[in-house]
């Protein structure tokens, strides 16, 4: 049976799939949608699946290849959908399974693939699996979660800490044991050492594949397994601490998380997961949450062609700006760890301060980084509103919804500032997001940046993103090609992409000064359609102004 026919047989009746391309993900631009904040259609102030279907033409016009939709499953919403109580149904807040099917149909009709966010490391404490597991030590699901006896003095079994602060262990009086929670206490960790748990999670994967999804974003992919011996994590010297995963005020940063995550058993589970996706031509991108070994773990998880296709580490999501020097060191480390690993780069997402604010970028700098992102080897994730240049929202304490921000206020304001509603219409109530009061306020500063306000301005951030993405699409070297070692000098970074019968030279000035540039020898032609400086034939030297790029192409 042909591969395409196999996919048709496996899909539910009535599901229309895009043409099968097992490599569609390589070099793809993936647009992240946070459902609560994308578009509200039922006037309750919360975005929904019907709203996603309505606004997908915007994503298609942007030039994206796929959408990644954050969790919309049944959930008590204590962590806004990342605490799942039913993996195989839609929370009524967002609509129905029929609404999801409509999203898939509309997306496929626009040529967009659909990836959904699967949270496989933990569930809600309201999930029926946990409800049964906590009843006793000998029920059929007793070992579906990570349970452990206390130490003789009654304290937790080891020193592991939660990403959200405090001990990673919560006491359950019914079992007289602790259960592990790497995040909120209401998010107990599954025990993937149990074969039945792995099979149940793979059943979830099959359910959504048969419903027509084209892939998955895998939340906290390196948290799936904990050390079966529950050994203590070692301390981390202060000079090695990194606040890219947790804010500096969180004691989570005081440990090297050697045993609470990143376990070798995860590789075999990822191989099983890849085998389930293969017949559908589906792909996965994993979130590697590790401040010390993110690139190395990404390399382990994506190399060899038998695990997940992509991972994104946190190197470009850190508080520190992606300088020329940082980019060089990042790609050097990645090359050492595994040359064939495939990253998925992003500057912003629903868990981080939006990068124009985090890096204190001017509009010109935002455009420069957008163009550079389209030149890097790997795939790309764009977060909704990034294409508008939205800054981080500065919310009052009384407006916060995120338990993370509430716990660490005011030193850390949480993630709500990146999760405010999308702004579609500058002159409409709540930016066109909803006719009701939104679940988070729409900042007044965002309204002039709405889609309709930027639509007809050729110099807008929105139209710059469209041009940069279109340019990437036109050049196979940028989507699938190899990348030469990066070279940096001050704020200047340069490299060459090679593939698809062409070479693309990229130089970027990531600073406010002027940067002299020696142009490469050879018959290069200016490219980029306005994304880079003009280069006359025969030029051998140029000067890049603040936040300018030089982009040239020639046959390979």
Give the whole-number percent of the chain exceeding pLDDT 70: 98
User: What Cα–Cα distance (Å) separates residue 316 from each residue in 204, 241, 290, 313, 347?
Assistant: 31, 17, 13, 8, 5
pLDDT at residue 295, as a whole number: 87
pLDDT grade, residue 339 (50/70/90)? Answer: confident
Among 117, 125, 219, 416, the active-site one is 219
CA-nearest of 523, 77, 118, 39 to 285 is: 118
Other residues' Cβ atoms within 10 Å of the Cβ of residue 132: 14
Give 179-210 pLDDT, tens digit per residue: 999 999 999 999 999 999 999 999 999 999 99
CB 285, CB 312: distance < 8 Å = yes
Is the pLDDT confidence value at 243 over 90? no
Measured distance CA(474)–CA(463) in Å, rounded? 17
User: What Cα–Cα distance (Å) separates residue 10 from each residue in 17, 19, 112, 201?
Assistant: 11, 14, 20, 18
Measured distance CA(213)–CA(133) in Å, rounded? 30
Is the pLDDT confidence value at 363 over 50? yes
CATH number for the domain including 504?
Answer: 2.60.40.1180
Q: With the C-alpha atoms ordered 75, 312, 376, 473, is the resulting torsion angle positive or negative?
A: negative
Last residue of a domain, one of 451, 473, 495: 473
Query: Do 415 and 512 fall within a single domain?
Result: no
Residue 396 lies in a domain: yes
For the question of residue 219 being annotated catalytic, the response is: yes
For the question of residue 491 being annotated catalytic, the response is: no
Query: Do 381 and 469 fall within a single domain?
Result: yes
pLDDT at residue 9, as a whole number: 55
Query: Do 330 and 404 fall within a single domain?
Result: yes
Task: Give the HSE-up count for residue 384: Cα atoms under 13 Å, Cβ half-sphere.
Answer: 29
350-371 average pLDDT score:
97
Write down the mean pLDDT value for the chain: 95
Residue 162 lies in a domain: no
**pTM reported for the whole predicted model:** 0.96
Measured distance CA(44)–CA(523) in Å, rounded? 59
467-493 average pLDDT score:
97
Is the pLDDT confidence value at 172 over 50? yes
Among 48, 79, 99, 287, the active-site one is 287
CATH number for the domain including 9?
Answer: 3.20.20.80
Last residue of a domain, one of 442, 473, 504: 473
pLDDT at residue 244, as a whole number: 67
Is the pLDDT confidence value at 373 over 70? yes
Is the pLDDT confidence value at 124 over 60? yes
Question: 67's torsion region: left (phi>0), alpha (psi -120 to 50) or beta?
Answer: beta
81-92 average pLDDT score:
98
**Higher pLDDT residue, 218 or 243?**
218
**How many domains are there within the chain?**
2
pLDDT at residue 4, as a whole number: 40
Domain that holds residue 500: 482-555
333-339 average pLDDT score:
87
469-475 average pLDDT score:
96
Measured distance CA(171)–CA(175) in Å, rounded? 9
Last residue of a domain, one of 473, 491, 506: 473
Query: Do 221 and 313 fall within a single domain?
Result: yes
Residue 528 lies in a domain: yes
pLDDT at residue 1, as a whole number: 30
């Amino acid at each position: 049976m042909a591969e395409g026919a196999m996919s048709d047989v496996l899909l539910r009746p009535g599901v229309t799939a895009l043409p099968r391309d097992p490599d569609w993900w390589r070099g793809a631009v993936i647009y992240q949608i946070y459902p609560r904040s994308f578009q509200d259609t039922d006037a309750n102030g919360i975005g929904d699946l019907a709203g996603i279907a309505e606004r997908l033409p915007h994503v298609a016009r942007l030039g994206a290849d796929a959408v990644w939709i954050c969790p919309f499953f049944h959930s008590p919403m204590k962590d806004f959908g990342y605490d799942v109580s039913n993996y195989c149904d839609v929370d009524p807040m967002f609509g129905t399974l029929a609404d999801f099917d409509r999203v898939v149909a509309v997306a496929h009709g626009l040529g967009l693939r659909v990836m959904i966010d699967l949270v496989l490391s933990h569930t809600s404490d309201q999930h029926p699996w946990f409800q049964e597991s906590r009843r006793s030590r000998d029920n059929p699901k007793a070992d579906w979660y990570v349970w452990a006896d206390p130490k003789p003095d009654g304290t937790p079994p080891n020193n592991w800490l939660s990403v959200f602060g405090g001990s990673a262990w919560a006491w359950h009086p019914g079992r007289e044991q602790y259960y592990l929670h790497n995040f909120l206490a209401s998010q107990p960790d599954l025990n993937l050492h149990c074969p039945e748990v792995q099979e149940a999670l793979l059943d979830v994967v099959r359910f959504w594949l048969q419903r027509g999804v084209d892939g998955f974003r895998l939340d906290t992919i390196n948290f799936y397994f904990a050390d079966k011996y529950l050994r203590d994590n070692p301390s981390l010297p202060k000079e090695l601490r990194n606040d890219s995963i947790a804010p500096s005020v969180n004691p989570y940063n005081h440990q090297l998380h050697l045993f609470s995550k990143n376990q070798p058993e995860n590789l075999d589970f990822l191989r099983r997961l890849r085998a389930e996706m293969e017949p559908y031509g589906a792909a996965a991108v994993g979130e590697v949450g590790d401040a010390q070994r993110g690139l190395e773990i990404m390399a382990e998880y994506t190399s060899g062609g038998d695990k997940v296709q992509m991972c994104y580490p946190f190197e470009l999501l850190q508080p520190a700006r992606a300088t020329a020097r940082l980019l060089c060191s990042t790609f050097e480390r990645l090359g050492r760890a595994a040359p064939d690993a495939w990253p998925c780069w992003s500057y912003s997402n629903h868990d981080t301060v939006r990068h124009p604010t985090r890096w204190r970028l001017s509009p010109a700098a935002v455009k420069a980084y957008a163009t550079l992102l389209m030149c890097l080897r790997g795939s790309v994730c764009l977060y909704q509103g990034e294409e508008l240049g939205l800054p981080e929202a500065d919310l009052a304490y009384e407006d916060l919804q995120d338990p993370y921000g509430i716990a660490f206020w005011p030193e850390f304001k949480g993630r709500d500032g990146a999760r405010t509603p999308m702004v579609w219409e500058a002159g409409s109530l709540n930016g066109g997001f909803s006719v009701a009061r939104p679940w988070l306020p729409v900042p007044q500063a965002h309204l002039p940046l709405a889609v309709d306000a930027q639509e007809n301005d050729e110099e807008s951030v929105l139209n710059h993103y469209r041009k940069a993405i279109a340019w990437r699409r036109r050049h196979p070297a940028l989507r699938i090609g190899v990348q030469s070692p990066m070279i940096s000098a001050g704020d200047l970074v340069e490299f060459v992409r090679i593939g698809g019968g062409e070479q693309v030279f990229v130089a970027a000035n990531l600073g406010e000064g002027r940067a002299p540039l020696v142009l490469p020898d050879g018959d290069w032609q200016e490219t980029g359609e306005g994304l880079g400086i003009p280069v006359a034939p025969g030029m051998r030297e140029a000067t890049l102004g603040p936040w300018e790029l030089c982009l040239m192409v020639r046959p390979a």
